[in-house]
Structure 1
Amino acid sequence: MPGAISNDAATPAPAERVCGIYHITHPRSASNLFQNMMGRQPGFQYSSYKLFGAGFGALTQLQRGPLGEWPKEDRERLFGLFEAGFEGMQEEVEGAVRSGKKLFMKEHAVFLSAADKLLGRIYNNDNVAPLVVHERGVAPNKSSHTNPTSLPDSFLLKFQPIFQIRHPVLMFPSLVRAQMDVKVAGRPCDSICQVMLQLRDSRTLYDWYAAKTANTGIIPRVIDADDVMNDAASMRKLCLETGLNPDAIVYEWEERVVEDPMQARFLSTLAKSKGILKGLDAKGKSVEGEMEKWAKEFGREDAEELARLVERAMGDYEYLYGKRTVAEETE
C-alpha cells in the first residue's frame, strides 16, 4: 500500500468526540488536490467554502473605506452573508450527525474572519462593532470567543483541524496570477493581496488550538503541499493521527470539466490531471531564484512587492512547517 509505515500502532490516536475534520487552508496551497485524495473517506460527508461568499464580498469591497463608514444596510448585508454561511455550517454538522457520519469541512483560514476583521486589517481605526455569532441553542452569555476568528470557540472545538500550507514562493505568485485572470485583483500592492498574501491567520489559529490541547485532547495537525504531492508515508501518518482511513486515499482520478469560470481557473491544473503531477513542489525554489521571472511577468515594482510579501510570511511558514506531520520511517 502507498506510504505504508512500519509501525502504524505507534502513531498517536486522534481526538475523541470530534464531529469531523476541519481542513483549514490557503488559496493555491494544493488544497484541492488534498480534497481529491481524501474524497472517498468512508463515514464522511463533505462540505466546503460555506464562508466564501462573505469573505469574497468583503475582500472585493476593501476600496470602499472603513466598514464603520458604510451605510448600515450595506454593512448588515455583508454581516448577513457570514451569518448565513455559519448557519449552513451548523446545518451540515447536524445533518452529518443525523446520518451517523462525520463531516469533512474545508475553508481558507482568511475566510473564517468576518468583514469587520478583514477590513480592519486595512483600516486600523475602523470604528465598527464586531460581528459576534453564536451556536444554535447556546446562550450568548455562555458563548466564548477567545479564538482569532469570528466563529465561536465551541464550534471550532467540534473538529480535528488539519492546516495545509505551501511555500509562499510558489503559493503567493500563483494566487496573484489567478486573481488577475479572474479580474479580482491586478497587483501585489492591491488591498486584496495585502490581506490574502499571509499565513498569520493559519498560525494564530494553530496556536489557539494547540493551547487548548491539554483540555480538549485535540492536537492541531499540519501538512505541507510538498508532502501531499511527494510523501505518501506522511499522508498515511496524517490519516492515522486524525481519524481518516489511510487505505482510502485516492491517487488516481478522471479528468473533469469545470463550468464555472472562476472555479475553472482555480482548478485548472487539477481538473486536467489524472493523478498527482510531479515537479510542482518548492524544492530548490527561493525568492532570489524567482525574482527575475517575476520581474518579467509582473514588472519590477510588483516583483519587489511580491518578494516583500513572501519574506514577510516566511516566519509563519517556517513555524508551521516545523509543526507538520512527517513520517520518520517508510517501507
Structure 2
Amino acid sequence: MAGTIQTPQPNGDAPSRRGIYFLTHPRSASNLFQTMMSKQPGYQNSGYKLFDAGFATLAQLEQGKVSEMLEEEREKLYEMFRTAFGKLEDELDDCAKNGKQAFIKEHTLFLSAPDKISSSAYPGDNPPLLTVYRRNEPHDANTIYTNPTSVPDSFLLSLQPIFIIRHPILMFPSMLRTQKGWRPDPHPSSPYCRIFLNLRHSRALYDWYLEHGASADIMPRVIDADDIMLNPAAERQLCEQTGLHADNVQYEWDERKIETPRQARFLGTISASRGIKPGLEAKGKSLEEEREKWVQEFGEEDAEDLARFVNDAMEDYKYLHSKRTTGDLVEA
C-alpha cells in the first residue's frame, strides 16, 4: 500500500535507526501487530523476556504481599527478575552480533520488578528494593533511575518505544476470559487480575518518555488496536516515525499451530487467522450493552466489577488515545 507524507508531523521524523521496544498490555491485539511487523528487514524479533518473572510475581500476589514473603522465597523471586533482565540484554547482544536491530515485545507492567508490582497491587506495601544494572555500566549509585519501572534509564533510552493500546471495553473482559481458561475461578477484583485492569503503568511510562526521551532523540509513539485493524495509514505513518518499513507490513500470513493449551488461550485468535479478522474493533460499542453481555457470561458481581474497572481506566485510555499516531498526514 503506497503512501506519501504530505506535511511533517511535529517530532514526526524517524530517529536514527534503532531497535524497537514494543510495549504492550494483555489482550491489546499486540500479537496481531507483531505478526504484521514480523518481516521487517534488518530487525530480529523477540519478546517476553520478563514474562515468566512477571507472572511468578502475579502468582505470589494471590498469596499476599511480597514484603510478607520469607526472605529466601522473596530472593528467589527477585533472582528471577535479575535473570530475566540478563536474558533481555543477551537478546540485544545477539542482535548486535547478527548485525540487526531488535524488535522486542514486553508487557509494560513486567518492566517492574516484584517489589514495585506488589506495591501497585497493595498500596502501602514496601518490600526491599530490587535494583538491576546493565552489564556494561558500573553497579553503583551513579546508575540513573528516574523512570517508573525497575530497569535503568539508559536501557529504556536505547530503544524506540511503541505503546499499543486498546479500548478497555474489549481488553479487560478478554483478559478475564483467558484467565478462566487456566486459573481456578478468577475474578476481576482478585490481586492477580486487577493489576492488569488499568492503564496507569503505560501512561506513567509514556509520560516519562515525553519528559526524558528528547535527550536520546526519542519520541514515544502510540498505536491503537482499532487503527491497526481499520486504518492502514496509521500503520504507515507509525513506520515513518519509528524507522520501520511500511512496504513490509504484512496483511496476510499462514495459520500457525499452537503447542500448549495455555498458549492457545492467548494466541488462539491470531494463530487461526490468515489476516486481519473483521468485527474485533471497539468502534460502536457501549458500556451499557457490553455489561449486559458480561452478566450472562461472568455473572452479576464480576460484570459490575468489570464495568467499574473499564470506567476507571477511561481517563488514561483517552489520554493515550489522544497521543496515538492517526495517519492523518499520510495517504494510504
> Is 1:249 the equivalent of 2:249?
yes
On the 8 A contact 1:51/1:86 being kept in 2, the answer is yes
Q: Which residue number in structure 1 is paired with residue 38 of structure 2?
A: 39
- Number of aligned positions between the proteins: 328
On the 8 A contact 2:56/2:77 being kept in 1, the answer is yes
> Is 1:105 the equivalent of 2:86?
no
Assess, with a 3 A threshold, how the Cα gap between structure 1 residues 185 and 195 changes in structure 2: closer, same or farther.
Answer: farther
Deviations 1:67-87 (A, max 9, x none): 122111110111111111100
2:223 is paired with a residue of what secondary structure? strand
TM-score, with length taken from structure 2: 0.95
Q: Which residue number in structure 2 is paired with residue 6 of structure 1?
A: 4
Q: Where in structure 2 are the equivalents of 1:123-272 lying within 5 Å?
A: 123-139=122-138, 140-183=140-183, 186-272=186-272
On the 8 A contact 1:254/1:274 being kept in 2, the answer is yes
Q: Runs of 4+ in structure 1 displaced over 3 angstroms?
A: 8-11
Q: Which residue number in structure 2 is paired with residue 22 of structure 1?
A: 21
The Cα shift of 1:193 comes to: 1.4
The Cα shift of 1:322 comes to: 0.2
Deviations 1:27-84 (A, max 9, x none): 0000000000000000011110000011100101213222122111110111111111
CA distance in 2, matches of 1:43, 1:105: 13
> Is 1:285 the equivalent of 2:285?
yes
CA distance in 2, matches of 1:67, 1:277: 41
Amino acid in the other structure paired with 1:273: S
Q: Which residue number in structure 1 is paired with residue 49 of structure 2?
A: 50
Deviations 1:139-168 (A, max 9, x none): 122211110001110000000000000000
CA distance in 1, matches of 2:123, 2:77: 19
Q: Which residue number in structure 1 is paired with residue 321 of structure 2?
A: 321
2:46 is paired with a residue of what secondary structure? strand
On the 8 A contact 2:115/2:126 being kept in 1, the answer is no
Amino acid in the other structure paired with 1:267: L
The Cα shift of 1:8 comes to: 6.3
Assess, with a 3 A threshold, how the Cα gap between structure 1 residues 185 and 79 changes in structure 2: closer, same or farther.
Answer: farther
> Is 1:60 the equivalent of 2:59?
yes
Decide which moves more: 215-224 or 121-130. Answer: 121-130
The Cα shift of 1:117 comes to: 1.0
Deviations 1:162-199 (A, max 9, x none): 00000000000000011111116611111111111111
CA distance in 2, matches of 1:238, 1:271: 24
Deviations 1:277-304 (A, max 9, x none): 0110001112112111011111111111
2:121 is paired with a residue of what secondary structure? coil
On the 8 A contact 2:40/2:244 being kept in 1, the answer is yes
Assess, with a 3 A threshold, how the Cα gap between structure 1 residues 102 and 184 changes in structure 2: closer, same or farther.
Answer: farther
The Cα shift of 1:17 comes to: 6.2
The Cα shift of 1:127 comes to: 3.6
Deviations 1:197-233 (A, max 9, x none): 1110100000000101332210000000001111111
CA distance in 1, matches of 2:184, 2:204: 26
On the 8 A contact 1:8/1:237 being kept in 2, the answer is no
TM-score, with length taken from structure 1: 0.96
The Cα shift of 1:95 comes to: 1.4
> Is 1:75 the equivalent of 2:74?
yes
The Cα shift of 1:10 comes to: 3.5
On the 8 A contact 1:176/1:185 being kept in 2, the answer is no
On the 8 A contact 2:203/2:316 being kept in 1, the answer is yes
On the 8 A contact 2:291/2:307 being kept in 1, the answer is yes
5+ residue gaps, structure 1: none
Deviations 1:82-141 (A, max 9, x none): 111100111111111122110000001111111111111233332421111011121122
CA distance in 2, matches of 1:131, 1:180: 31
- Computed over aligned residues only, the root mean square deviation of the Cα atoms, in angstroms, reads 1.4
CA distance in 2, matches of 1:71, 1:147: 28
On the 8 A contact 1:172/1:197 being kept in 2, the answer is yes
Deviations 1:265-321 (A, max 9, x none): 111111110000011000111211211101111111111100000011100000000
CA distance in 1, matches of 2:269, 2:126: 42
Amino acid in the other structure paired with 2:5: N
The Cα shift of 1:6 comes to: 3.0
